[in-house]
Every structure is written in structure tokens, then in C-alpha cells.
Structure 1
Amino acid sequence: MTEAHLSTLLAFFKAMANESRLRIVGLLAGRERSVQELAELLALKEPTVSHHLAVLKDLGLVSVRAEGVTRWHALKPEALTRMNRALLDGAGVAALAPKSETWEEKVLATFVGPDGALKVIPASRRKRAVVLAWLARQFEEGRRYPEAEVNETLQRRHWDSATLRRELIGHRMLAREAGAYWRLPEGDWAAG
């Protein structure tokens, strides 16, 4: 979500969190009205109503047309519809959440260098399981690999391919038979 979109949503919620503005929107939903008429209906002073209308106009929720000396204000329902779609769109709502790293991403950032090489094999079982899952995903599911290719792939990440191979098999991430290795489905992997 862009900063501009977030800013618009915040302004919308701030504007609509005011009881007088909500009542004005309700009154304008029925028909266009003048400042004087709104002030009378809401028991507010005209400058106060003008201020609220200016806020709603800045959000694009209200339009104004002049007729002689009177200014008529009307609700722009398409603006509410557009805002509603933005609010109810699943991706839009999810984008409101701050971008944060998952625990697994933090573990990988700690143990994997910028060059993609494993700095050290974690001592903690839980952290090691995260690193092993990352390594297992280096292999395609459904493909058989000769041991030399498994070693080569693992050695690009860490020099101790024998330990990593054993760990991957022990965690049921890879299987081995007659010198061939293959990746097992993630649902079968042993937890850390």
C-alpha cells in the first residue's frame, strides 16, 4: 500500500469519526443542502458546519454548486463506494499491516550471509530446522539426485555437506536409497 493511499484512509477515518460529519453525510445522502439548512438541522453554527463540509470536500466526499449566493452541498456516493472498495479489498486491508519479518526470516538472516552461504550450522534444534528447510527447498520435489549433486548443492551453502545430508535425512526432508536422494513433501518433514 502506498503512503498516499494510507494517508487517504487515515484522513477518511479521522473525518468520519466525528459525529457532526457523520450526521452531515447522512443528511446529504438524502438530497443536497445549504450550510444554513444543515446548521439549523444539526443545531450548529454556520462556521462550524462550513468547517465540517470543508473536511468532507477535501476528502472528495462532498461536491458544491453555487446558485446565486447560496452554495448547495451534495454527497458524492461514488467516492464512498470507491473508499468502501478500498477498505473491503482483502489485499488492500492486508497491506495495512506493517511489513515485518517472520521468525524464520530472522533466523535465516542471522545464519545465511549476503552471498547465500551458511555462516554456521545452528546449535539450536528449532533454528537448525529452519535452516534445513531452507536447504531442502534448494532441491526440486519429485526429482532424484545423485549423491555428488547433493554434495555440490550443499557445499555451495556450507563446507560440511556430510553433516547437512545426515540432518536433512534425519528431519525427513530428504530421503535416500541406493545412492539417490530426493526431496520429500513438506507436510512429511519432522518439526525442529
Structure 2
Amino acid sequence: MRLKEFKINDPQPAFIQLLSFFKALADEKRLKIIGLLAQKPQSVENISAALGLSVSTTSHHLSRLSKAGLVSARAEGYYSIYSLNTEKLHQMSQQVLQPQNLPELAPEAVEDVFERKVLNAFIDAEGRIKAFPAQQKKFLVLLRYVVNAFEPDTTYTEKEVNEILLRFNPDTAQLRRSLVEHHLMSREGGGGQYWRTDETP
């Protein structure tokens, strides 16, 4: 079976499902959450206590796992109880992770060439953005370049975000706003806390 023919009851293309699956598991804390839920369903508070994490951080990790279809939640009084979706894990391992499918996961070389051309055109020798391109596709290449300066699973104040963005361009407001609008970073409430989301626009 070729990868492009693979389907789960999900509207996403198979490649996007697989990418989401790997990203969800590519974190030590989320793997530990999977391990805890494999033992029994757990509340956010219990998971937080077991791993020594804040409730907000635990909720963020559970949200990533939920988006990948790996966990589900049910209400139980005032608490949300999370369970491991073992059927999803089985589907992914049995139907997607087949050796004959993996070669088709290689990214298109054309896209790599395009990104290199954009970076060469708009980034100077010191790694700073010389100008913002009008074409959105090119601008997204620059945003993905910039977001790599932020560590995953780390929260930043707006001041810290601006200090990092200033390394790339004086217009920190546009960069900060664009990173959030294109879901490369998220912010809490009025923007007091920011964190990298690692979503691919």
C-alpha cells in the first residue's frame, strides 16, 4: 500500500497525520505523559504532580497529544480525565509506519531550493532580515527562520521575545504579531507570556 492511499477517519492527508504524530511524541515530557496514561486514565492535576510540571504546562502538552488524536478527555465532576487512545497508536504503527511507505516522506527538493533562495535574498551575512518580502510564501520562510531562535516548551515574556526578535530586525512588533498570526508562536491572554508552537503554516 502506498502512503498516499493510506486513510484514517480523519480529513488530514496521511503525510500531515504522520508529521503531527511524530511532533506530538518528539518531546520527553509528552512521552512520559503517554507512559502515565498507559497505566490508567489520569486528571491534569495528577499528571502535573507526577511529572513536577505546572498545570498550564501539562495542559499544553495534553493539547498537543489531543490534536494528534493520541489522547482523549472526559469530564468527571470539576476535573478533566485523560485517557490514552490506544487504537490510534495501533493504527499509526500498523498502517503508516510500514517500510515501503517511508521513502515517500522525503520533502520535495524544489521547496528546499525555494527556501534557500529566499533566505539568501532577504538575510544578510549577520543573519538579519534586510527587508520583508511582499509575497506571503516568502515571508513565511523568514518567519520559520526566525522562530528557530526560540526554544520549544519554553515561555517568554514580551520583553524577552522583543530582545530575541531585535537580533533579526528592528520591527519587532510586526515579527511578533506575524509569528502569532501564523501559529508559529502562541501567547497567553493579553500577551504576557509567549511560547513556540512548532506548527507548520
Q: TM-score, normalised by structure 2?
A: 0.46
Rg larger in structure: 1
